[in-house]
Amino acid sequence: MANIVLKNICKEYTKNQSIIEDLNLEIEDGSFTILLGASGCGKSTILRMVAGLEQETKGNILIDNKDMKNVEPGDRNIAMVFQNYALYPTMTVRENIEFGLKNMKIPKQERNEKIAEAVKIVGLQDFLDRKPQNLSGGQRQRVALARAIVKEPKVFLMDEPLSNLDAKLRTQIRTDLIELYQKIKTTFLYVTHDQIEAMSMATKIVLLHKGKIQQIGTPKEIYEKPQNVYTAKFIGSPPMNVIIKNTINPQFKFAPEETVFIGFRPEKATLEEQENCIKIPGEIVAKEFLGDQILYKINTGDETIQIKTFSKAIVEDKSCTVYIKKEDLHFFDKNEMRIDC
Q: Which is nearer to ligand ATP, 39 or 133 (CB)?
A: 39
Alpha-carbon distance of 92 to 61, in angstroms, equals: 35
For the CB of residue 235, give the shortest distance to ligand ATP in the complex, in Å. 16
For the CB of residue 197, give the shortest distance to ligand ATP in the complex, in Å. 12
For the CB of residue 244, give the shortest distance to ligand ATP in the complex, in Å. 30
CA-based nearest residue to 280, from 322, 247, 308:
322
What is the Cα 341 distance to its own chain's centre? 28
Q: Which is nearer to Mg ion, 44 or 231 (CB)?
A: 44
19 interface partner picked from Mg ion, ligand ATP, none, CB below 5 to 8 A per type:
ligand ATP
What is the number of residues in the chain?
341
Q: Which stretch binds Mg ion (CB under 5 A): 41-49, 172-180, 249-257, 273-281?
A: 41-49
Q: Which is nearer to ligand ATP, 193 or 338 (CB)?
A: 193
Map residue 315 onto helix, strand or coil. Answer: coil
For the CB of residue 201, give the shortest distance to Mg ion in the complex, in Å. 17
Contacts of 266 (CB under 8 A, 6+ apart): 236, 238, 240, 241, 295, 305, 306, 307, 308
Contact call for residues 261 and 248 (beta carbons, < 8 A)? no
Q: Which is nearer to Mg ion, 124 or 191 (CB)?
A: 191
For the CB of residue 53, give the shortest distance to Mg ion in the complex, in Å. 12
45 interface partner picked from ligand ATP, Mg ion, none, CB below 5 to 8 A per type:
ligand ATP
Q: How many CB atoms lie within 10 A of CB 340?
A: 8
Q: Which is nearer to ligand ATP, 41 or 144 (CB)?
A: 41
Contact call for residues 224 and 232 (beta carbons, < 8 A)? no
Q: Which is nearer to ligand ATP, 209 or 245 (CB)?
A: 209
Which amino acid is it at 105? Answer: K
Q: Where are the alpha helices (DSSP H) in 8-62?
A: 43-51
263 interface partner picked from Mg ion, ligand ATP, none, CB below 5 to 8 A per type:
none
Map residue 159 onto helix, strand or coil. Answer: strand
Contact call for residues 219 and 207 (beta carbons, < 8 A)? no
Per rule CB under 5 A, count of chain residues that contact Mg ion = 1
For the CB of residue 44, give the shortest distance to Mg ion in the complex, in Å. 3
Q: Where are the alpha helices (DSSP H) in the chain?
A: 43-51, 93-103, 108-122, 137-150, 167-184, 195-201, 219-224, 229-234
**Per CB under 5 A, 44 contacts Mg ion:** yes
Note the residues at the interface with ligand ATP (CB under 6 A): 13, 19, 37, 39-45, 193
Q: Which is nearer to ligand ATP, 84 or 134 (CB)?
A: 84
For the CB of residue 36, give the shortest distance to Mg ion in the complex, in Å. 11
Find the farthest-apart pair of alpha carbons in the chain and give their distance in angstroms, rounded. Answer: 75
Which residues here bind Mg ion, judged by CB under 5 A?
A: 44
